Amino acid sequence: MNDKQLAAEYAANLITNGMLVGLGTGSTANYFIEALARRQHEEHLRIETVSSSPISAVKARALNIPVLAIEQVAKLDVYVDGADEVTADKTLLKGRGADLVREKLLASASAEFWVLIDPSKQVSHIGEKSPIPIEVMPFSWQLVKHQIEVLGGHCELRLNANKDGLAVTSHGSLVLDAHFDSMDPDTLNGHLNSIAGVVEHGIFYRLATKIFCGYQEVVQVN
């Protein structure tokens, strides 16, 4: 079992009957969905879920996990997802995929937000390894790019996987991948929240409640 899977299995074992569980997106979230499905099958665990992405909903339904539409849900018991970067104070960077908007919506609406990682995701500051994704309304990208530059950052429009077109999120937004030399996440979060034309961004500040880090057969919980 790899470290991500170890963290996912551990978290899945903490889910109890009657919970409404938010499903994240990515390879780690996939391990969690598989572990939940196994508990449902073997232990008759009774849960409902809501998904942060079409792809996770497809996977969960294929494994017979009940998935509610996001429109049916006002609050969740727990949202469980991976992350691209995690700092010691539980600030996250997310959004390498195309589902940032729903990921942050579910994380914000949940009583608890559990983050599943391996040690490669631990960083000393956000933006250390990856750019900060900023989802923008398609027609606003130049205006937002200028505002990012005024803040001292620089950014480029994300291309699709083939590099022959622009990346479009599941929400229909374009993505600016931004770099900032130095700015604390609290300040940057506030600035990005206030730029018109920004739909959502990848800094998850004060949302995560527990970090599960799998490493060599042991899961450390913070």
- Binding residues for ligand 5RP (CB under 6 A): 24-28, 81-84, 94-97, 99-100, 103
Least gap, CB of 72 to ligand 5RP (angstroms)? 22
Nearer to ligand 5RP, 4 or 149 (CB): 4
Nearer to ligand 5RP, 153 or 214 (CB): 214
- Which of 42, 43, 85, 103 is flagged as catalytic? 103
Nearer to ligand 5RP, 20 or 23 (CB): 23
In sequence order, what are the beta bridge partners of 135?
Answer: 175, 200
- Contact by Cβ (8 Å): 87, 93: no
- Contact by Cβ (8 Å): 21, 49: yes
Least gap, CB of 150 to ligand 5RP (angstroms)? 27
In the residue annotation, 217 being an active-site residue is answered as no
DSSP 121: G
Least gap, CB of 6 to ligand 5RP (angstroms)? 13
Q: Which phi-psi region, left, alpha or beta, contains residue 166 (left: φ > 0; alpha: ψ -120 to 50)? A: beta
Nearer to ligand 5RP, 81 or 188 (CB): 81
Provide the pairing of β-strand 92-93 with 153-157: unpaired
- Integer Cα distance of 21 and 60 in angstroms: 12
Active site residues: 103
